[in-house]
Structure 1
Amino acid sequence: MTESPLSQAQYDAITDAAAHWCMRLHASDCTAQERLAFEQWRDAHPLHAVEYEAMLDIWEVAGDLPRPDAIVPAVRIKPATPWRTVGIAAAVCALALPLAAYSGWNLGWLPDAYQHFEAGDTVRQVTLSDGSRVELNLGSELTFSNYKDHRRVTLDKGEAFFSVSHDTAHPFIVRAADGRIRVTGTQFNVWMYEDQVRVNLIEGSVLVTSNDDLPGDGLRLGPAMQARYKHGDFTPQISQTYANDNSLAWRSGKLVLDDLALSDALPLINRYLDKPLMLADNSTGSIRLGGIYNIKELNSLVASLPKVLPVYLTRNKDGNPVLNAIPQQPPKS
């Protein structure tokens, strides 16, 4: 059986992961658990091992190159096919050392900076090498690469608020799930859970596409606008936000649910749970929930839901909590 070819976005995700593992395995604080996780990732797909070996070649060359102190060693290449990745790596390694990094940067193959950030159980603020500032929500993770013709962020999971330094000639591109957000300088928020993505623009403008393989730069958002997309969407869904929008309450440690159906509330809640909360059926999903919750205490919310809603809890075969609507008793005649 022939495997379907990977998309450009999938290639980029694999290469970003290979670069991350190359950085972590060379770090002095790399743990045994991380090394085990790397082995599991490497063995999950043949291309993972190919990409990682190419990264090692680039790492060995880059490690001996004279660089300014502010520049992080380059460990990233952009493939069109897995064989192009290997070819680029071999070509770079064949060059004289002083020329290798310069050529890779000049041709747009190599970044001059690569950064990886994770937020654990607290909101984290970071500054990227281009001066842009990012606020990471709990459990969020992203990588940043600075190329000659663009700046690239991959949001691996979670949520982030971006304040992007303005540079018209050097656009800032965020990859989230299948889509892409393109800006030159602005403030915006990107929320991602599984294959669902929501983009809220605060100031400036951004271009949003729901599928990175589609031609064009996508749909333009202005301030107080929102875009949503999920896997398989041809175009994002665009809507207006209002003064009472609470999507950025996480920056103050809160999750605000404004009388939402459970089917809409659960993706917002599950981002913070150890095990995602499930719905037994559509009727359960139509029950509405409101309130203001501390994002660090949402695991305790699950047990309290039967006290405030007409539901009861069960567990599925995977151990996930499941909400079930309490059957309504017919009125007595």
Structure 2
Amino acid sequence: MNPHAFFPMTRSTTTPLSLPLNPDQLSLWLVREQATSLGDEERQELLRWRQATASNETHYQQLLLTWQATQLVPDEHWRRILDQAPLQASRRRWLRTTLFIGAPALAAGTAVIALPGMRTLWQVTPQFTARYQSARGEQQRIVLPDQSILHLNTDTLVDVAFYADHREVTLHQGEALFDVHKQHERPFQVLGGLASILVTGTLFNVRRDPDSLSVIVQEGQVQVSSGRWWSPSHVSLGPDQRLRLDSSTGRPRVDSTPAPAATAWHTGQLVFSNAPLSEVVRELNRYRAPQQAIRIMDDSLTSRRIAAVFELHDSADLLETLPELLPLRVSTLPSGEVQLHAR
């Protein structure tokens, strides 16, 4: 079959794509196209991408044929497959696993054909890979090969993979500040479990906790995509905007917050503005060993609010300051645990 028979191939003479399509995004857009959920501008963007090169059109047609093959699988089997999908697994990996492994196993005798060339299409070799990890209480500053700067906060683990057409960082845990060097032809993507963040060049912060994710933009614009890959939500953020996602609801919440204060940790400071003591203690404990955790011993203290700036690496000053701000006393146990009592 000639993949170009479906579409007249002419090189586009229009302006370059505002958001180049990498394999992950192509798979998402094709699924949305088949579900008639692409907007007019996105359909035009996809059309221009297909027209740009013969290789683009070949990739599109190969993926389209595979999508059509999946229609052989009964709906109830696909529902079981999709319900097991991770919220933000790499669409490339999930699509490959579902089409080549999951569907035949779950569909009990229903065959899904792996088309020639599809395995090669999705098995792209990165040009650069690295893993970076910071210990509890440690910050790191890393200059990546594209001159982007990655600041790791306490207890953070990331994997970096640079491809010819996009740059990708997986934030497994912790918090990172990204100062992305602008490359329009190679967008920069951060995968954070509950969402992915896509930019070409900007300054933004991502924090991944066990059950939540937050994104704060300091400079430029970012696009945050969340939800299941077949029914995504897209939110654009600008300077001093914060998006929060909770795994229990999956719905993004956007508010305004001073980004320099929220990202002051990379300069060795924590800034609190009218924050409850429970939040302050939770944040401080991220930088302390578990046996030296700060604990609130009286519930009456949890909602008392603080406005202060703490030096991260000066615990003695921090503990001396708290009784000046709130009616409490500080007790330090031989183990190093710190207890806060009302007075």
Change (3 A) 1:7 1:225: same
Structure 1 residues 295-314: aligned runs within 5 Å: 295-298=312-315, 301=318, 305=322, 309-311=326-328
Give 1:190 shift. 1.6
Tell me if structure 1 keeps the 8 A contact 2:96–2:122.
no
Root mean square deviation of aligned Cα: 4.0
Distance 1:106 1:282 in 2: 57
Quick one: which amino acid aligns to residue 306 of structure 2?
L
Change (3 A) 1:109 1:232: farther
Distance 2:120 2:330 in 1: 55
Corresponding residue SS for 1:296: coil
Tell me if structure 1 keeps the 8 A contact 2:194–2:212.
no
- The answer to whether 1:147 aligns with 2:166 is no
Bigger mean CA offset, 78-87 vs 145-154: 78-87
Distance 1:5 1:278 in 2: 39
User: Where does structure 1 lack aligned partners over 5 or more consecutive residues?
Assistant: 13-76, 88-102, 327-333
Tell me if structure 2 keeps the 8 A contact 1:208–1:220.
yes
Higher RCO (Cα < 8 Å, 6 or more apart) = 2
Aligned length: 244
Q: Which of the numbers 289, 305, 309 marks the counterpart of 1:288?
A: 305
Corresponding residue SS for 1:260: strand
Q: Which of the numbers 189, 199, 203 marks the counterpart of 1:187?
A: 203
User: Where does structure 2 lack aligned partners over 5 or more consecutive residues?
Assistant: 1-79, 103-117
Distance 2:294 2:247 in 1: 21
- The answer to whether 1:256 aligns with 2:243 is no
Quick one: which amino acid aligns to residue 285 of structure 1?
T
- The answer to whether 1:271 aligns with 2:286 is yes
Change (3 A) 1:214 1:279: farther
Change (3 A) 1:226 1:284: same
Change (3 A) 1:267 1:191: farther
Change (3 A) 1:192 1:283: farther
Q: Which of the numbers 225, 230, 239 marks the counterpart of 2:246?
A: 230
The residue that corresponds to 1:207 in the other structure is: 223
TM-score by length of 2: 0.57
TM-score by length of 1: 0.59
Give 1:286 shift. 0.7
Give 1:277 shift. 4.1
Give 1:113 shift. 1.9
Provide Cα deviations, 1:235-264, integer angstroms capped at 9, x if missing partner. 221112348x51122122111222311233
The residue that corresponds to 2:86 in the other structure is: 8
Whichever of the two has the greater Rg, that structure is 2
Bigger mean CA offset, 277-286 vs 174-183: 277-286
Tell me if structure 2 keeps the 8 A contact 1:180–1:212.
no
Corresponding residue SS for 1:251: helix
The residue that corresponds to 2:237 in the other structure is: 221
The residue that corresponds to 1:117 in the other structure is: 132
Provide Cα deviations, 1:74-95, integer angstroms capped at 9, x if missing partner. xxx93447688999xxxxxxxx
Tell me if structure 1 keeps the 8 A contact 2:160–2:169.
yes
Quick one: which amino acid aligns to residue 309 of structure 2?
I
Corresponding residue SS for 1:265: helix
Q: Which of the numbers 248, 257, 260 marks the counterpart of 1:241?
A: 257
Corresponding residue SS for 1:259: strand
Tell me if structure 2 keeps the 8 A contact 1:117–1:142.
yes
The residue that corresponds to 1:28 in the other structure is: none
Provide Cα deviations, 1:209-259, integer angstroms capped at 9, x if missing partner. 45464633521101221112222233221112348x511221221112223
Tell me if structure 1 keeps the 8 A contact 2:226–2:233.
no
